[in-house]
Amino acid sequence: MAAAHAPAAPVTDRRGYTQLFAAQVIALLGTGIATVALALLSYDLAGADAGAVFGTALAIKMGAYVVIAPIAAAATARLPRRMLLVASDLVRAAIACTMPFVTSVEQIYLLIFVFQAASAVFMPLFQASIPELLPEEDDYANALARARLAYELEGPVSPIIAALLLQVLDGRSLFFSTAIAFIVSALLILRVKLPEARGRQDEGMLPRLKRGFGMFVSTPRLRGLAALNLAVAAGTAMVTVNTVVLVQFRLGHDDRATGIGLATFGIGSIAGTLVLPALLRRITERSLMLPGAAMVAAALLLGTVAPGLRLLLPLWFAIGAGCALAQTPYGFLIRRTIVAPEEKPPLYAAQFALSHLCLLLAYPLAGWLGAAAGMRMTFAILGTTAAAAGLLAQRLWPPEGDAVPA
């Protein structure tokens, strides 16, 4: 009787992964540029009420992602991945090409929902494809780290690119740049040979979130991280939603100045991220993240003096740096949490959900407050929220057990 053949070992495809990762990075940058263009479009349509419109649009974006992503992951699990990824990019490119011709707020809301639904299809398929291309554990771990870094850098880098593009383009034309980014992403994906989807499914989103939230509740440093997410969301929402209103309606500047304001926030975030490695060799995460939240709160409260552009830019830089210090080290906290390796993904999933839930609340709050109560009150309320979140994090996360790194 012939011996049974052993199953063939999975083949590593680093070239395919590199192309897929490049597609993700380009798509993320396209999404970030679209966010800047959406802020300018909201101002064109709503003027002084642009913050309320933009905040609502971003809430729809966050809500659609949170709701649709787990559904899309289950519904598309056995469908051809490459074609779905390409279709997602092309749908987003088509929506981007439509946005410059929008004439009503309702059209913005509808198109943003469709755009984010396509993004919700893309992300789980991308994540599911990585272990198929990189079956070796070390390669896969490094790929996950790069994916998280790309996602975190999208926020600060995209406004800088948008600011440069605004030197030669108007706000609505930015959407065409976004469409080009998604088309390039689709072309890169077409060059990748992705394995067929397998019948066995990974653990679903809801069970992962349930276990991840349970570990957050039981771990002091993670309880502190949960509170810090709210401080970061308050600062991010104020900058993202209200920059266009502050710069163009209150201060009388143009699209380029709005781009510079958003880029300054991005530069601050990058600066905060770059100093992290050196600081974390000398002090604990807690000693870095809590002051980061305090920096965000202080900058927001200083905004109540109704600054001009010259003072607004340093505040935006400080908020960007504070957000980076308060949130970027979360990966170190999760890695230091004593759990089995297979328990790490639920923690990352829970952190992703918590941070996006805070943004889901903060975006419309920043917009509606700005339109209804004025910018000084918005600065005051969001600054107080960030300060309260930082104080709560301090109470939930005691210093015991966080020794200074050697």
Tell me, yes or no, whether 157 and 268 share the same domain.
Answer: no
pLDDT class for 385, splitting at 50, 70, 90? very high
How many C-beta atoms surround the C-beta of residue 400 within 10 A? 7
By residue count, the chain amounts to 406
Tell me, yes or no, whether 225 and 168 share the same domain.
Answer: no
Phi then psi for 198, rounded to 5 degrees? -95, 155
Boundary of a domain, candidates 200, 226, 246: 200
**Pairwise CA distance, residues 188 & 185, whole Å:** 5
Boundary of a domain, candidates 200, 233, 258: 200
pLDDT of residue 208: 65
Tell me, yes or no, whether 171 and 261 share the same domain.
Answer: no
- For 228, the domain range is 203-399
Q: 38 in a domain, yes or no?
A: yes
Tell me, yes or no, whether 250 and 126 share the same domain.
Answer: no
Phi then psi for 251, rounded to 5 degrees? -105, -10
**Per-residue pLDDT tens over the stretch 209-220:** 677 778 888 888
Tell me, yes or no, whether 265 and 391 share the same domain.
Answer: yes
Tell me, yes or no, whether 292 and 392 share the same domain.
Answer: yes
Q: Is the dihedral of CA 105, 110, 114, 117 positive or negative?
A: positive
Domain count, the chain: 2
For residues 368-392, give the mean pLDDT.
Answer: 95
Q: 406 in a domain, yes or no?
A: no
pLDDT at 201 over 70: no
**Pairwise CA distance, residues 401 & 27, whole Å:** 40
Boundary of a domain, candidates 175, 200, 225: 200
**Per-residue pLDDT tens over the stretch 264-300:** 998 998 888 888 888 888 888 899 999 999 999 999 9
pLDDT class for 400, splitting at 50, 70, 90? low
pLDDT at 10 over 70: no
Lowest mean pLDDT among 16-20, 51-55, 202-206, 207-211: 202-206
Q: 404 in a domain, yes or no?
A: no
Q: 405 in a domain, yes or no?
A: no
Pair 261, 383: CB distance under 8 Å: no
Tell me, yes or no, whether 241 and 192 share the same domain.
Answer: no
**Per-residue pLDDT tens over the stretch 115-139:** 988 888 887 778 777 777 877 767 7
| pTM for the model | 0.80
Q: 2 in a domain, yes or no?
A: no
* Angle of helix 137-165 versus helix 174-190 axis, rounded to 10: 150
Mean confidence (pLDDT) of the chain:
84
Give the CATH number for residue 191.
1.20.1250.20
Q: 224 in a domain, yes or no?
A: yes
Tell me, yes or no, whether 236 and 370 share the same domain.
Answer: yes
Tell me, yes or no, whether 255 and 336 share the same domain.
Answer: yes
pLDDT at 196 over 70: no
pLDDT class for 47, splitting at 50, 70, 90? confident
Q: 50 in a domain, yes or no?
A: yes
Q: 292 in a domain, yes or no?
A: yes
Tell me, yes or no, whether 241 and 146 share the same domain.
Answer: no
